[in-house]
Chain A
Amino acid sequence: MANHVTEWLGAYHDGELRGARLHQIEGHLAECATCQANLDELRNLSALLQDTAPNGDFLLTERFVANLALSMPRGSEQPQPRNALKIGWWLIPVGLLGIWLFINITLLLGSVVTLAADTGLLGGNLAWLQGNPLQMNWFATVMNLFGNQLGALGREILSALNDANLFTKQLAGILIPQAILAVSYLGWLLSWWLRHQHQLSQITVSFPQS
């Protein structure tokens, strides 16, 4: 029979095949005497290898453990780089949340103080806190130089551009840092999730026969 499956027999013998490949090999073996003979040889080989396993030549476990304890380097209380890394890893989200809280509390307090200054609750000494500037520098400069030469429509357009510029400046000042924080935090979360999935996939621990 042609198309022997010799290269897959070892994996079949070791129970490593699944699904379609397993069915293919089983089907082939049922009909091919050559491959069946090769498989029998593999089984005989494994039996021969196991048959010659050493039995009792080594130090007993307790003796070995005792000898090892004497040879193990003393005073090497295990270094803590891994713990340091672990702590650092968990400090990342804490730090990000801390920065986020700081920014928001600062903005909130700033708004409250500005509002209080605007309404005169803080008296005249804090007048410098009142409101945001209503003109961008470029707008003030243009108006000083060319204000008289511009028509009403030109001034309206420039004023609208000035308002849009003020709005985007304030918005960017608030949003960009928060967006950076959000992306960093989501990146950390994704990284944590991937590590968690990887560990779950490898969590099965088996032990050698004793």
Chain B
Amino acid sequence: MVIPDAETEAALIAKAQSGNRNAYGELVRHHYPGVINVIYRMCGDVELAQDAAQDAFIQAWLHLPTFRPGTSLRNWLYRIAINAALDVLRRDTKTADADFETLSMPDPQAGPEAALLQKERTVAVQQAILALTEASRSVLVLREYGGLTYHEIAAALDIPLGTVMSRLNYARHQLKRSLQPHFIQMEIENG
């Protein structure tokens, strides 16, 4: 995928803001992988993530005139994506029993035992993330899977920088506790 420079993206945003659907399609094309990844980590369910991603991009289209040119579209979309993911989760009450069988494709080149291990690890990680509070999970997902800086997270979620740090520390502390057996396994694998 060709990654546009800031100038190209600004031109696409300007066109999309004036109602050009093709320009918006281009923007969606560029940002879909990041947005779906963030939403998936918030939901822990592929189908829900897909629905939430669609909701998020429709919301973004409807509110695009309010987007301020010169600011980061990615951060703006991630903010909408987080809200869409939380909305979908609230609507869907069966998420706690999400179908973790379909969470991740095991590496086909790994042996059956390694593939099983990887799948178990994936399930454990996703369950641990879902066990976090919404506030902590949002910060963790934007940092670990969205790649946002602390300042960008603070701006996207409209919270102070100190709150970003404390929520992230809390989330990581919780994850370390719940994923401790997998760390041990990783250390054994890495010798």
Show the binding face of A for B, using Cβ within 8 Å. 7, 10-11, 14, 16, 41-42, 44-59, 61-62, 64-65, 67-69, 71-73, 76-82, 199-200, 202-210
Contact = CB atoms under 8 A, between A and B. Distances in A.
B36 A58 contact: yes
B172 A45 contact: yes
B46 A61 contact: no
Nearest to A207: B3
A115 to B, nearest CB: 52
Contacts of A53: 37, 104, 145
A46 B172 CA distance: 9
Given A61-B32, A69-B25, A10 B165 contact: yes
B128 to A, nearest CB: 9
A60 to B, nearest CB: 9
B186 A205 contact: no
Given A52-B126, A68-B54, A7 B29 contact: no
A11 B143 CA distance: 11
A205 B18 contact: no
A54 B40 contact: yes
A46 B102 CA distance: 22
Contacts of A48: 121, 125, 179, 182-183, 186
Contacts of B156: none
